[in-house]
Structure 1
């Protein structure tokens, strides 16, 4: 399909006259029948890379996405734009609703699923009965065993792709080092995938890193920054407790609309906070990493980190939510010497210690051997005193050794001992990797030269010249940043009106005050 035709289709279906960075190249390759690994920075519209082809193909497009809220949001956006043949199959559907959807699954051109839902036998049965043109993996770094969002069901996707007839594959991510890109291709058994990699450095973002002596000093600094300019701001925390605590403290110090968000909240409360922030009814969100993925809010001006994450990839993902409109934005990282134990604690909660593996497998063998009925995953994890992530990792390794088929099987106990040795070796490597990633993060915090160049150096050979002040090591201070909150509000309103006009196919819309 010629470039002109693609732009005509883009305007017809989405109302845009031009593609953003990387979109046209990726879509062109997909339509030529080539597998693509697309590495595009956060905020450039990666979803369009599969949404437009889905409308052009005669069959269906399957999209594997890690978050239900992200899937539901994209489905709502497409339906609001008049594109009805889209569905998200998730665990919140009741039995009758899911059965009805599955019975008419071939009527949908775009089908969103989680990697876990794709392992559902009924879902896979219906997918194998239809024609799938394109198989999409969003947040594709999760495929990599060494990626920063390890999800075991992502590692089963190569088998799922074969089951649905080996369609064209598109893997998308905003943060993947060359090492992870290679691992993604290997895990998908597609070493010849075309890699379309664009620079991820944000030329409209300034970076500030400040060491503080205490949490009280952090709070004082955030109060100063928020008071200096009133503009949409995200503040990231490593724990739910701190997100709630600082949210309440800031409410008493700053005359702004502030709320907290984390994964421990009720779903409706999370959705309410997210929508209020999207609609400019909240100024500041105090959140954990549970908030942000898929949040398409163009006028976020600042991302503040109260705690630093355990990997540069996570940091780049989180700051990528600011400045999607191309206007100046800033990242502020605050840290105290006492913060260093937090990411280490999270690594320990995610990974089993190598020296504990043999004891865990022996206990699991004894538990299964003594039970009259099959225990579910939650019960097994509780019996073994493992977190959900730890048990999922152990279970996946047992599945690879054919010792587990959804539930542990009783086989030769010596086979379990041999498997324990293999898992221990895998974990030793994983501990080294995780601690290396944490050290990269810490090294960046203390880097004496340009923070921008150091931040992006593991991902790309060069960084572009920024359009704004560079970083605190190059002379930038948060007080140097001038923000026009009224302009932000107007931009959001105009965006809202434009989207409404597109829904009713009114063409170009000119607002009058």
Structure 2
């Protein structure tokens, strides 16, 4: 047995690698920078977890979600890999200081793109031997970096400060354009590419036309009553996720149903996630906040109550189904004017130019009054800016040397140039995002094979379906026979009661 396969078996219990894993790992072990695009659920994390065991020095992994980091750390520790840590906002200050002071003892270090900008952490990393810099879910550089999380665009500076270690970028939904973005913003044009087909043979695609949202609800009730399988229902609205979860719970009392979104308390979200993972819940009504860290093998149904804003997001969400290779189905519920909600979401993401100009005016006034620091919350409230809009403006202010670490710098004569460049970026981003939404709408309303048209922007061909292909290739639910599994005896219908029990147990210890 080769050393690679020995590590694979000893730590992960597998005798063979999945498609793409071994080729990526071998290049990483040979100190090459690599871009790997593999299907969802294909075990991308092994591509850096095994190198962290075999290489000298430490591996740092940039991960987008705290829950994803925590889950991977727990899983690795249960497999006997102890030298792993996640540095995030969950950790108390004293504990974080202790971890950073002893950072060199860890072989695998998880951090968010925001956390890795932390001066104390960055200084400590500079003193260490880093064998690999990993960007997990690397499509976030292109998908989130421009608005939601501009710290993704700053990773190139972090890599340079760390002495330019080898870089591994991993994704499941990187189109050729997104791949170019990744190489551009990481400044790694010579990355070796390992690009594999993203479609999975066991997934079936269907779209259900509905006249209105009440018809969507009626359709889901019939479907969930007939197929009592692990199900995720995606919403673009937190309120709608709660309302529909409540309606389904009342009308389908035999099913265990809960909602999940980013506006919930962290403890509540953790409990709901764990219950779903352990088959103590049947249906999750969720927003996109739920899923990226979910590695549940037996999800059979993914229902989209609302349209995603782009096909990449849709593929990510659909990819949470059928990770065990069994037949699983994606259902998109589509009603007239459904594209209006994602349009409004896109329009609300970026600031308008009046807000940008007003903020610049405020900074000028403060500087002239010899006030060199900014009060983020005061300015956000005064200008009615969301967190995402604020991050977007601050990123560009820093890029133009108008702001640095909350300190106002002299603007001089670059005001007009700054406003012109920001306006150009905003218009470009809107054009791009509406183009992506139009692609999604075109796919939903198309009258050709859904599998081929879904994956055409990503790859030149599609795999032959293991089960049914799509509604245009003959699939309907009357012939679907999903794999049913015996539910666990422990049924928790009232998650609030269970949460209270957790608190009682922790207080008694």
Q: TM-score, normalised by structure 2?
A: 0.92
Q: Is the 8 A contact 2:41 2:320 kept in 1?
A: yes
How far 1:348 moved relative to its partner?
Answer: 1.3
* Residue 69 (structure 2) pairs with residue 71 (structure 1): yes
> How many positions carry a matched residue from both structures?
488
Aligned to 1:95: 93
Q: What do the CA deviations read for 1:122-160 (whole angstroms, capped 9, x no partner)?
A: 000111111000100011112227879842001111111
For residue 176 of structure 1, the aligned residue among 174, 177, 195 is: 174
Say which SS state the counterpart of residue 402 (structure 2) adopts.
coil
Residues 148/177 of structure 1: CA separation in 2 closer, same or farther (3 Å cut): farther
Residues 216/141 of structure 1: CA separation in 2 closer, same or farther (3 Å cut): same
How far apart are the structure 1 equivalents of 2:487 and 2:166? 40
Q: What do the CA deviations read for 1:64-84 (whole angstroms, capped 9, x no partner)?
A: 001111101100111111111
Say which SS state the counterpart of residue 122 (structure 2) adopts.
helix
Q: What do the CA deviations read for 1:230-267 (whole angstroms, capped 9, x no partner)?
A: 11000000111011000010011112010100011111
* Residue 438 (structure 2) pairs with residue 434 (structure 1): no
How far 1:163 moved relative to its partner?
Answer: 1.4
How far apart are the structure 2 equivalents of 1:145 and 1:246? 28
Say which SS state the counterpart of residue 408 (structure 2) adopts.
coil
How far 1:365 moved relative to its partner?
Answer: 3.2
Residues 369/238 of structure 1: CA separation in 2 closer, same or farther (3 Å cut): farther
How far apart are the structure 1 equivalents of 2:337 and 2:43? 38
How far apart are the structure 1 equivalents of 2:106 and 2:434? 44
Q: Is the 8 A contact 2:373 2:408 kept in 1?
A: no
Residues 367/434 of structure 1: CA separation in 2 closer, same or farther (3 Å cut): farther
Aligned to 1:27: 25
Q: Is the 8 A contact 2:364 2:411 kept in 1?
A: no
Residues 371/411 of structure 1: CA separation in 2 closer, same or farther (3 Å cut): closer
Aligned to 1:478: 477
Aligned to 1:463: 462
Say which SS state the counterpart of residue 417 (structure 1) adopts.
helix
How far apart are the structure 2 equivalents of 1:367 and 1:328? 61
Residues 414/213 of structure 1: CA separation in 2 closer, same or farther (3 Å cut): same
How far apart are the structure 2 equivalents of 1:476 and 1:417? 57
| Paired residues for 1:73-472 under 5 Å | 73-144=71-142, 150-254=148-252, 255-354=254-353, 357-366=356-365, 372=371, 374-407=373-406, 409-412=408-411, 414-472=413-471
Q: Is the 8 A contact 2:366 2:372 kept in 1?
A: no
How far apart are the structure 2 equivalents of 1:205 and 1:392? 37
Q: What do the CA deviations read for 1:321-351 (whole angstroms, capped 9, x no partner)?
A: 0000000000000021132211011111212
Aligned to 1:507: none
Residues 191/343 of structure 1: CA separation in 2 closer, same or farther (3 Å cut): same
How far apart are the structure 2 equivalents of 1:146 and 1:75? 24
Q: Is the 8 A contact 1:51 1:110 kept in 2?
A: yes
Q: Is the 8 A contact 2:308 2:314 kept in 1?
A: yes
Q: Is the 8 A contact 2:233 2:284 kept in 1?
A: yes
How far 1:187 moved relative to its partner?
Answer: 0.8
How far apart are the structure 2 equivalents of 1:92 and 1:167? 28
Say which SS state the counterpart of residue 82 (structure 1) adopts.
coil
How far apart are the structure 1 equivalents of 2:410 and 2:453? 51
Say which SS state the counterpart of residue 414 (structure 1) adopts.
coil
Q: What do the CA deviations read for 1:296-329 (whole angstroms, capped 9, x no partner)?
A: 1000001000001110000000000000000000
**Structure 1 consecutive aligned stretches of length 4 or more whose deviation exceeds 4 Å:** 145-150, 367-373, 487-490
Residues 307/466 of structure 1: CA separation in 2 closer, same or farther (3 Å cut): same
Residues 194/488 of structure 1: CA separation in 2 closer, same or farther (3 Å cut): farther
Say which SS state the counterpart of residue 2 (structure 2) adopts.
helix
Aligned to 1:36: 34
Say which SS state the counterpart of residue 403 (structure 2) adopts.
coil
Residues 317/436 of structure 1: CA separation in 2 closer, same or farther (3 Å cut): same
Say which SS state the counterpart of residue 206 (structure 1) adopts.
strand
Residues 17/297 of structure 1: CA separation in 2 closer, same or farther (3 Å cut): same
How far 1:488 moved relative to its partner?
Answer: 8.2
Q: Is the 8 A contact 1:146 1:433 kept in 2?
A: no
How far apart are the structure 1 equivalents of 2:407 and 2:101? 32
- Ranges in structure 1 where 5+ consecutive residues have no aligned partner: 491-513
Residues 150/265 of structure 1: CA separation in 2 closer, same or farther (3 Å cut): closer
How far apart are the structure 2 equivalents of 1:314 and 1:219? 23
How far 1:479 moved relative to its partner?
Answer: 3.1
Q: Is the 8 A contact 1:364 1:384 kept in 2?
A: no
Structure 1 window deviating more from structure 2 (164-173 vs 320-329): it is: 164-173
Structure 1 window deviating more from structure 2 (481-490 vs 347-356): it is: 481-490
